[in-house]
Amino acid sequence: MCGIVGYIGSEQAAPILLDGLSKLEYRGYDSAGIAVFDKDKIEVAKAKGRLSVLAEKTDDGKTIHGYMGIGHTRWATHGEPSDENAHPHISNSGRFAVVHNGIIENYIALKKKLVERGFEFISETDTEVIAHLFEYYYKGDIMDAMIRVINRVEGSYALGVLCSDYPDQFIAVRKSSPLIVGLGDGENFIASDVTAILKHTRDIYYLEDNEMVVLRKDGVKIYNKDKEEISKEKFTVDWDVSAAEKGGYEHFMMKEIEEQPKALRDTISPRIKDGRIVLDDISLTTEDIKNINKIYIVACGSAYHVGVVGKYVIEKMCRIPVEVQVASEFRYCDPIIKKNDLVIVISQSGETADTLAALKEAKNHGARILSIVNVVGSAIANASDDVIYTWAGPEIAVATTKAYSTQLAVVYLIAAYMAEKLGMLTSGEYANFIAEIEALPDKVAQILTSKEELQFLASKFFNCRSIFFIGRNLDYAVSLEGSLKLKEISYIHSEAYAAGELKHGTISLIEDGTLVVALATGQELFDKTVSNVKEVKARGAVVMGVTTDTHENMEDVADYVVKIPSAHEMLLPSLTVVPLQLFGYYVASLKGCDIDKPRNLAKSVTVE
C-alpha cells in the first residue's frame, strides 16, 4: 500500500526513482510522483493513473534534472486519485517536499491550526499537513523540525523529506510503516521494499520506529528522537534480483504459483534434521508448551485463512484450544488473554498495520508472541518473542500464492513440533508426518503439470456472475482462500461457505447454472459433502468437485472433477489450494483483468 523510494548520488535521480517505483507497483496505487532537487529548487512531477503516465510526462525522467530526489506511488485514503492529491506534497514556500506512507489520524486538527496561521492547502490529503508542519516548525535545522513534526502527528508514517536549504542531503523517518535504507557506493537510498533498490545494492538497514536517517551520497547516519546517533546492523539480501522479475512469465502470479515447490522446500528442509523438526532458535521450551492454556492465531486476509487451517490442525494434533481472529477485530475486542496463552501472528510482509497493532495489544496483555513472517527484520518480526521465517522469497503479485503455502507449511511444523513435545504422537506417527511434509513440494509440482485442465475449466466459467465454494472442516478452510483468490483478481462475486450451512440460507442463492466448487478431500466427511453436492445439483447448480485420487465417487455427482494426490489429511490444504489458485488465475486471464495489480487492492496493507 503506497510505495516510497529516495535517492542521492552521482547519477540523475529521476530515472532511478521511476525505475524504483516500477518495482513497487505491486503494492497497489492510483497515482505517482517524484520530487528532485536541482541547483536551488525542488522540481515536482506527478500524475494520476499508472506510472507509465508519469514516465511519459517526464520522458522517463529525462526532463527533470538533479542528483537527489524522492518518489511515491499513492493508494488513495484521503481524497480521490488526482494530480493534486498525488505525492510528493510541497510546503507553501516550496522549501519542503514530502512523501508519506501511512495515516495521520489527527490531521484535521492540525490542518485547522495551520489554516488559522495562514497556510493554504491545495489537496484533500492528510500528507499535505506534514509538508506545512515542516515549514511551520523549521528554524534552520531540518532534524529539529523533523523531531517536532513527529512529536506532533498521531498515526503511522514513513516519511521522505527534501529541503531546498540542504542541497547535499535528505532525511527520512518511520513509525509503523515500512522503510529501509539502501547502502551503495557513492549513492544511498530509501525504499518501502528492497525490490525497489535491489539492482543498485544488496546492503540495507531496517529502520525501527522513530528512527531518523540522514542520507548523503557518501554515507548515512541514523539518529533517535534525542538526536543521538545510533549504530545499526547491516543486512545483506541473499536472493537474486531475478526472483523479483517475471523471468518470461506473463504475470508474476503465475511465476509465483510455479515457484511453490521450491518455496516449500526452502521453508521445510532447513527445519527437519535427522528426522526431527527443529524450529530455528525459538525460545519456546517443552515446559512452555505443556503450560500453554490457549492459542490465539491473529492475521488478516490470506494469512487469516492460514490461521483457520491452523486451528483445525493444532487442535487435532495437540488438543490445545485455538481461537482465530481477524487482526483488525482482535485489537478492539478487549481480548481475554491469560499468562500461559500463546499468540501466533501471521503476516507475509511483517508490516501489516492491523496485525502489528494486534500484536502490540496482545503484548500489553502479557501474551507470548510467535510470529510467522517472510521479511527478515520487519516490524512484526522485531516485536515478537519468537519468529519463524517463511523462505518464500519476494512475492510481487498482490494475490498471494507462495506466501500462503509457506505459511501453511510453518503451521504444520509448529503443530507437529508441539504435538511431539506433548506426547500426542507416537514415534511412528511422528516419522510418518515428517515424511508426508517432506513430500509436499513434489506433490505440488505434480499438480502443476496439469495446469491445462484448470485452464479448460476456467474457459467454461469465466463469465459467471457468482461462484460458491463449499467444504467441511479443512476443506472449508481452504475454500475461504479459493474464493478470495477468485474474487480479488477476476472481480467475480464469490463466497465460501461451510457445506453444512447450506440449508441455513445459502442454498436460496443457488439457481440454474450457478457454479459451486465443492472441496471433498478428507475421508471422514467425504460422504457428507457429497450429500451437499447432491442438494445443490437438485437446484440447478453446476458442480466442480476437488478431491483426492483415492476418492472415486465424486465423478458420480459432480459435473467436473479435479484430482489431487493423496496425502496425510492434515496436510491436504497445501495441495487443495493449488488448483484453486490456477482456476482463479485463468478465469482472470480470460476476463482480461490486471492480474498482478487488481483494482483497489494493495500488497502490503500498512494503514488501518
228/361 same-domain check: no
CATH classification of the domain holding 476: 3.40.50.10490
- CA angle centred on 514, ends 510 and 517, rounded to 5°: 100
Q: Is residue 608 part of a domain?
A: no
Q: Among residues 354, 414, 407, 360, which one has the least CA distance to residue 382?
A: 360
In this structure, is residue 598 part of a structural domain?
A: no
Number of domains in the chain: 3
Residue 555 domain boundaries:
450-593
Query: Is the same domain home to 274 and 229?
Result: no
Tell me the CATH number at 41.
3.60.20.10
Q: What angle do CA 187, 193, 199 make, to 5 degrees?
A: 45
3-state per-residue secondary structure call for 92-144: CCCCEEEEEEEEECCHHHHHHHHHHCCCCCCCCCCHHHHHHHHHHHCCCCHHH
Domain boundary residue, one of 448, 468, 495 = 448
Q: Are residues 444 and 422 in the same domain?
A: yes
pLDDT tens for 62-99 read 999 999 999 999 877 777 888 889 999 999 999 999 99
pTM of the model: 0.78
> Which residue ranges of the chain lie beneath pLDDT 50?
606
Q: Is 185 found in the same domain as 47?
A: yes
Residues 439 and 330 in one domain: yes
Which amino acid is located at 488 in the chain?
Answer: E
In a shared domain, residues 163 and 299? no
Is the domain of 99 the same as that of 112?
yes
Which of 386, 419, 448 is the endpoint of a domain?
A: 448
Last residue of a domain, one of 398, 417, 448: 448
Residues 69 and 150 grouped into a single domain: yes
In a domain, 434, yes or no: yes
Catalytic site positions: 2, 603
pLDDT of residue 568: 96
Q: Are residues 197 and 164 in the same domain?
A: yes
Same-domain pairing of 461 and 514: yes
Q: Give residue 28's pLDDT.
A: 67
Look up residue 564 and give its three cell numbers.
489431487
Distances in whole angstroms, Cα of residue 158 to Cα of each of 79, 178, 273, 280, 492: 19, 7, 41, 31, 34
At residue 379, the pLDDT reads: 83
**Shared-domain flag, residues 425 and 466:** no
Q: What angle do CA 485, 598, 261 make, to 5 degrees?
A: 45
For 545, the enclosing helix (H) or strand (E) is: strand 542-548
| Cα atoms found within 13 Å of the Cα of residue 163, Cβ hemisphere only | 24
Same-domain status, 382 and 442: yes
pLDDT score recorded for residue 40: 87
In a domain, 32, yes or no: yes
The reply to whether 599 falls in a domain is: no
